[in-house]
Amino acid sequence: MASLPFSATSFHSTFICFNYKARNPNLFFLKKGSSFTFSRRKFIIKSVASDQRQDLKEEGQITEEASLDTFVPDSASIASSIKYHSEFTPSFAPDHFELPKAFKATAESVRDSLIINWNATYAYYEKINVKQAYYLSMEYLQGRALLNAIGNLELTGAYAEALKKLGHNLEDVAREEPDAALGNGGLGRLASCFLDSLATLNYPAWGYGLRYKYGLFKQYITKDGQEEVAENWLEMGNPWEIVRNDVSYPVKFYGEVISGPEGIKEWVGGEDITAVAYDVPIPGYKTKTTINLRLWSTKVAPEKFDLSAFNAGDHAKAYSAMNNAEKICYILYPGDESLEGKTLRLKQQYTLCSASLQDIIARYERRLGEFLNWEIFPEKVAVQMNDTHPTLCIPELIRILIDVKGLSWEQAWNITQRTVAYTNHTVLPEALEKWSLELMEKLLPRHVEIIKMIDEELVQTIIDEYGTEDLDLLQEKLKQMRILDNIELPESVVEMIAKPEKSSVEAIESTEEDDVSDEETEPTAEEDELEEEEIEEKNEVPPIIEPYPKLPKLVRMANLCVAGGYAVNGVAEIHSEIVKNEVFNDFYEMWPEKFQNKTNGVTPRRWIRFCNPDLSKIITKWTGSEDWVVNTEKLLTLRKFADNEDLQSEWREAKQRNKVKVASFLREKTGYIVNPDAMFDVQVKRIHEYKRQLLNIMGIVYRYKKMKEMSHEERKASFAPRVCIFGGKAFATYVQAKRIVKFITDVGATVNHDPEIGDLLKVVFVPDYNVSVAEMLIPGSELSQHISTAGMEASGTSNMKFAMNGCILIGTLDGANVEIRQEVGEDNFFLFGAEAHEIAGLRKERAEGKFVPDPRFEEVKSYVRSGVFGPYNYEELMGSLEGNEGYGRADYFLVGKDFPSYIECQDKVDEAYRDQKRWTKMSILNTAGSYKFSSDRTIHEYARDIWRIDPVVLP
């Protein structure tokens, strides 16, 4: 059944009865200190789910009123299922049941349960033909799936007991799972939280992405700083995915566009590849709804393998087409410094868009059958573009509707504008993608034709809005709003602008009656020439159509998103205001109804319930139930108990247990031994100059220098003990970010081995930061740093996770920090730094040479340059904070400006931490105030305001 993500009727593997152990109690045995042995003859295998249901009924496990769908397996049946998979779906040697094999068999056992709900979910959606949302993202930072899946299925206890019977601990088995390397930062983690919430809230939806073979990279920290190697997350297979060889679509690159009869366009020739679906079921919490994340992998047809070239010894030529196809899904964000890198990135983006839309359209056609009506397509389909990476959805949908389905331009454009929506995630200019028109014309020639038509529609709309009387205003609007940058205006528009108005011609052809004599006179030759010049002046094409030959011709993807979509949203209140008032202000003035805010959120299941069981039990006890896991407003109940000594005592004990786990983890990963009684101060996120890890580490250097200048007694009196923890990846070609990583590790190497300082200060960089590391660090964190230059962080989501877990934030008024501070209370948030509206003025002040750095900031730079942290030359890093202008200089991110405010705020942190009663109350109020930042709330808003879809509860 192609309509389903996975069909039991077409599944050629076998089902095993969940409770067959009742009939085979001696199916296998364990010997203490050794691996188990199987007795294969005693396995009873059922081929279809209906047989399984019948067997369960016969044995009294389910009644006539119940069904297999509602049957909840116990630990015995789960143990039998795990044993079955270790025997019959082996990835390891058959005679051992060690941890890697235990994980694989356990995951496959869980997947059996997911498949039943998964098929039921989409079968029901097909049956009732409900409108569905399709979320397209280049990243999904899933993290480990095992504990999340069994937690959502409410089987954690049963699986723990089953594995205990089999000689293993659930936590040990879960640690065998590698993180899925499908994302990098907040963009991908948000997408994964959204899928969890969509399933939990029973919204009909799909996720679409790419199946990266090597992810971004695995990060090692050496004496030279960050080093990158290919991620090996798929080395032992992925038990959660199911390859769908029956679901594949052709994707084309290069070639040419030819015109057929009646102007029909056909894209022919070029390079053809195939996108194949890999499906990953995403279960909801305490619901049967299980939605699908469909990931595309790329290959070519077997006939593309050049057998004659291979036999002739030209192996490179033989494999050429295969390699070109497969490398599309090798790496997340391949380096784009070269033309080849840019081409590969564009191929990735188009593959995601083309395969996903073909799949969406095929499903739509199948559902409507003989009643197919393209006009109602937007009433059944909502496509959400997560950032600008999936922008090619817009011209691709138009291409399919016109070239393949035979619709007119007007129909296709109208349908597209009612189907596609865009989430903006950044105000950074370099992240608002601009692609070379020349590259795009070569790679996607038909799409460039369509983009030019969209641009022409947009230009016409702008002219209709603003007219042609004020050409300076029109020029400015076109400069800011056009999709095509530095490209001549369409001919139709040039003619319209250049065409003289009737009144102008009449003014030239005649003169005022009272200025001429009654006698008719023939114009002289000079008068004739003057008149022609005046007419030419009136007809002169305005300078706005003239491109600059020395500048590149570009396609502005963000502008295409705004023009082609029906909704544009930011991801925090302050970010959405910047989007409306700065980034897309001209569009907002023309289409205010398109713009919305959808403040991000994170799933409370993964980010409290599962990763922090100690705190979860306390919350459940003091709020009276577990309702808070799906209704986070219940967390507000904690506010009335914030001063309660019993709650505070329990709260501190839970935090301390988590800190002990973190200390053990840090020792294992880095070799550093830290004191769990010290404050755990954490900054974990992508390494980027705007996120200002540099401000943090320079603050630490200042702290260290002051400590060194004091006696032992003065140090203890002046500073609360701290463990400063960093984590995050610098992009492989981002040199400055990699310098920051090196600097942090050098500071740590010096500070951590200084006997004078001891446990008063430690600096630890955790290598290869990912979701699983976050799940360990966040519950044990006490202070979390979200210190980006104001106005540059769209939202952030790690700030929400930290607040949920009772961690207090230090930060600027940026992104979601603004709303977090409002909800947790100003007294429970450490605020410093310039505000967003001041940033432009401060940069201007710097450019004019008016900035005077604080003496403490100069002191730190000199200290770094003195070589105290080793022989590495930090001149480039320190130099970036100096000067008044120039690329990579002039402290663009205002580290020096905010430094005094930052270190003074850190003094307030020390003061607060010394009063543990006050600190604990602040911690409780952070968890209570985090109620708003659940992705459930965010998804409700998307569903109501953008996608216009309703929950569908399975019968």
509 compared with 833, residue with greater pLDDT: 833
Q: Is the pLDDT of residue 951 over 60?
A: yes
Rounded Cα distance between 859 and 590, Å, is 50
Of residues 88 and 901, the one with the higher pLDDT is 901
- Rounded Cα–Cα distance for residues 284 and 196 (Å): 6
- The structural architecture, per CATH, of the domain 83-389 is 3-Layer(aba) Sandwich (3.40)
At residue 267, the pLDDT reads 97
Mean pLDDT value of segment 819-838 = 97
Torsion of CA 777, 779, 785, 788, to 10 degrees: 80
| pLDDT above 80 for 58 | no
| Distance set, CA 555 to CA 8, 257, 433, 586, 695 (Å) | 45, 19, 8, 18, 35
Determine the number of helices (DSSP H) and then strands (DSSP E) in the chain. Answer: 37, 26
Sort strands 242-253 and 271-283 into parallel, antiparallel or unpaired: antiparallel
pLDDT at 50: 38
Q: What is the dihedral of CA 43, 44, 47, 48, to 10 degrees?
A: -120
Residue 509: is its pLDDT beyond 60? no
Rounded Cα–Cα distance for residues 335 and 342 (Å): 8
* Contact yes or no for 925/639 (Cβ under 8 A): yes
Share of the chain above pLDDT 70, in %: 88
* Cβ atoms < 10 Å from Cβ of 711: 9
Q: Going by C-beta distance under 8 Å and a sequence separation of 6 or more, which residues neighbour residue 85?
A: 104, 105, 106, 108, 109
Among candidate residues 801, 897, 932, 937, the one labeled active-site is 801
Cβ–Cβ under 8 Å, residues 28 and 86: no
Mean pLDDT of 933-954: 98
Residue-wise pLDDT tens digits, 623-679 = 999 999 999 999 999 999 999 999 999 999 999 999 999 999 999 999 999 999 999
DSSP string, 100-155: HHHHHHHHHHHHHHHHHHHHHHHHHHHHHT--EEEEE-S-------HHHHHHHTT-
Summarize pLDDT for 720-764 with one digit per residue, the tens.
Answer: 999 999 999 999 999 999 999 999 999 999 999 999 999 999 999
529 pLDDT tier (thresholds 50, 70, 90): low
Considering the chain, what is the average pLDDT of its residues? 89
User: Domain 613-933 is classified in which CATH homologous superfamily?
Assistant: Glycogen Phosphorylase B; (3.40.50.2000)
Q: What is the mean pLDDT of residues 869-879?
A: 95
Look at residue 542 in the predicted model and tell me its pLDDT: 52
Write down the pLDDT at residue 20: 33
Q: Alpha carbon 52 to chain centroid distance?
A: 40
The Cα-based distances of 208 to 194, 213, 762 in angstroms read 12, 16, 42
Return the axis-axis angle of helices 817-824 and 916-929, rounded to nearest 10°.
Answer: 110
For 947, the 3-state DSSP assignment is: helix
Q: Are the CB atoms for 280 and 293 separated by under 8 Å?
A: yes
CA distance 834 to 849: 18
pLDDT tens-digit readout, 442-462: 999 999 999 999 999 999 999
For residue 550, give the H/E element and its range. none
Mind listing the pLDDT tens digit for each residue in 162-189?
A: 999 999 999 999 999 999 999 998 999 9
801 is catalytic: yes
**How many other CB atoms sit within 10 Å of the CB of residue 123?**
15
User: What would the two tokens of residue 852 be?
Assistant: 């005077």
Catalytic residue among 691, 738, 762, 843: 691
522 band by pLDDT with thresholds 50, 70 and 90: low
Instruction: Report the pLDDT averaged over residues 364-377.
Output: 95
Helices (DSSP H) in 312-419: which residue ranges?
Answer: 315-326, 339-368, 377-380, 393-399, 409-417
Apex CA 455: angle with CA 450 and CA 461, to 5°? 130
pLDDT in tens, 287-340: 999 999 999 999 998 888 888 888 999 888 888 989 999 999 999 999 988 999
Could you read off the pLDDT of 85-100 as tens digits, one per residue? 998 887 777 778 899 9
Residues 6+ apart with CB under 8 A from 520: none
Q: What does the pLDDT read at residue 406?
A: 95
Give the three-state DSSP class for 423.
strand
Assess contact for 586 and 477: CB atoms under 8 A.
yes
> Taking Cα atoms as reference points, which of 241, 347, 350 lies closest to residue 294?
241
Give start and end residues of each alpha helix (H) in 2-98.
49-58, 75-88
Q: Is the dihedral of CA 574, 804, 604, 662 positive or negative?
A: positive
Instruction: With beta carbons less than 8 A apart as the criterion, state whether 743 and 878 touch.
Output: no
Token match 């710097």: residue? 846
199 token code pair? 């399933």
pLDDT attached to residue 526? 53
Residue 910 has pLDDT above 80, yes or no: yes
Tell me the average pLDDT across 254-273: 92
| Residue 412 neighbours by CB under 8 Å, 6+ apart | 397, 398, 401, 402
Kindly name the residue from 144, 213, 218, 425 that is annotated as catalytic: 425
Q: Which of 389, 685, 762, 932 is catalytic?
A: 685
Outline which parts of the chain fall under CATH 3.40.50.2000: 83-389, 613-933
Q: What is the pLDDT of residue 916?
A: 97
Output DSSP code: residue 91.
Answer: S
* pTM, two decimal places: 0.89
Task: Report CA Rg, the chain.
Answer: 31
pLDDT on residue 543: 56
Q: Which of 252, 347, 367, 686 is catalytic?
A: 686
Choice among 287, 416, 632, 797 that is catalytic: 797
Asked if the model's pLDDT at residue 68 lies above 50, the reply is no
CB of 421 closer than 8 Å to CB of 327? no
Q: Are 860 and 702 in contact (CB under 8 A)?
A: yes
- Between 494 and 373, the higher pLDDT residue: 373
Mean pLDDT of 856-862: 97
Is the confidence at residue 144, as pLDDT, over 80?
Answer: yes
Q: Is 389 a catalytic residue?
A: no
Which pLDDT value is given to residue 72? Answer: 75
What's the pLDDT at 545? Answer: 61
Instruction: Return the ∠ at Cα 291 (arms to 290 and 292), rounded to 5°.
Output: 130
The reported pLDDT for the residue numbered 697 is 98
Residue listed under structure tokens 């005046």: 534
At residue 435, what are phi and psi to the nearest 5 degrees?
-105, 145
Catalytic-residue membership of 685: yes
Range 553-567 average pLDDT: 97
CB 682 within 8 A of CB 779: no
Q: Which helix (H) or strand (E) holds 723?
A: strand 722-727
- The structure tokens listed for 832 are 């410093």
Compute the average pLDDT of residues 593-601.
98
Res 597 pLDDT > 80: yes
Strand partners, 244: 277
pLDDT at 386: 97
Identity of the amino acid at 439: L
Angle made by CA atoms 689, 695, 701, in degrees to the nearest 5: 135
- Catalytic site includes residue 812: no
